[in-house]
Amino acid sequence: QAESQATPHSLDARSSSMENAKDYNRQAKWIQDFEKSVGKKQMQVLEITTESVKNRVKKVKNWTSPGNDQLHGFWLKYLTSLHEVLAKQLNEILQNGQIDKWLTAGKTYLIQKDAPKGTTPGNYNTGTLVLSQKHWNYI
């Protein structure tokens, strides 16, 4: 199996195609057919309850490396006064559609799968520490 290599020419071609905005026929029949078949459904309103936060943080490990908030899982579990506040803040994010960058940023580490296989790129998993990762996976 041949592995594709990016060449300066291919990178230039991709770059120029991304930079040049093209118009398309918004009235094309296939687009109208697709919209009819899918329909225009409203997204279901989702509300995160204090109880759902409480149940979710039970599954968080106590002393693993914390995310950008520097808050260990232990404290998320046992500072129960945080559960209501977290639920409220997560609901505000869902309603407003805006989220601060710090909440979704994290540190990514490469974790070697099998030491005898050495340092080949395929021999690593990534691990990212993000406060919101577990919460957003839940949502």
As a whole number of angstroms, the distance between CA 62 and CA 65 comes to 9
Is residue 69 within 8 A of residue 131, CB to CB? The reply is yes
Give tens-digit pLDDT for 29-58.
998 888 888 877 777 788 999 999 999 999
Entry pTM = 0.50
As a whole number of angstroms, the distance between CA 13 and CA 72 comes to 46
Q: What is the pLDDT of residue 56?
A: 93
Q: What is the pLDDT of residue 74?
A: 94
Residue scoring higher pLDDT (4 or 94): 94
